[in-house]
Amino acid sequence: MVTEHHHKGWNEIKTNDSWAIFKIMGEFVNGFEKMSQIGPCVSIFGSARTKPEDKYYELAEKIAQSIVEAGYGVITGGGPGIMEAGNKGAHIGGGTSVGLNIDLPFEQNDNPYIDPDKNLDFDYFFVRKVMFVKYSQGFVVMPGGFGTLDELFEAITLIQTHKIEKFPIILVGTNFWKGLIDWIKSTLLEGYGNISPKDLDLIHLVDTDEEVINILDSFYKVSSLSPNF
Interval 179-207: pLDDT, tens: 999 999 999 999 999 999 999 998 999 99
Instruction: List all residues 6 or more positions away from 6 whose beta carbon is below 8 Å from its beta carbon.
Output: none
Angle between helices 146-160 and 125-135 (to 10 degrees): 50
Q: Where are the alpha helices (DSSP H) in 70-124?
A: 82-92
In a domain, 227, yes or no: no
> Residue 6 pLDDT more than 70?
no
23 in a domain, yes or no?
yes
Say if 123 falls within a structural domain: yes
Tell me: the pLDDT tens digits for 29-58?
Answer: 999 999 999 999 999 999 999 999 999 999
Residue-wise pLDDT for 13-22, tens only, equals 667 888 999 9
Nearest CA to 61 among 73, 78, 44? 44
Distances (CA, A) of 42 to 18, 146, 169, 204, 214: 35, 20, 10, 15, 14
Cα-atom radius of gyration of the chain, to the nearest Å? Answer: 19
Domain span holding position 160? 4-222
Domain membership of residue 151 (yes or no) is yes
71 in any annotated domain: yes
Q: How many CB atoms lie within 10 A of CB 190?
A: 10
Specify the number of domains making up the chain. Answer: 1
Residue 117 lies in a domain: yes
* CATH at residue 97: 3.40.50.450
Tell me, yes or no, whether 228 lies in a domain. Answer: no
The interaxial angle of helices 125-135 and 4-35, nearest 10 deg, is 30
Domain membership of residue 229 (yes or no) is no
> Average pLDDT of 214-223?
93
| Whether residue 108 has pLDDT greater than 80 | no
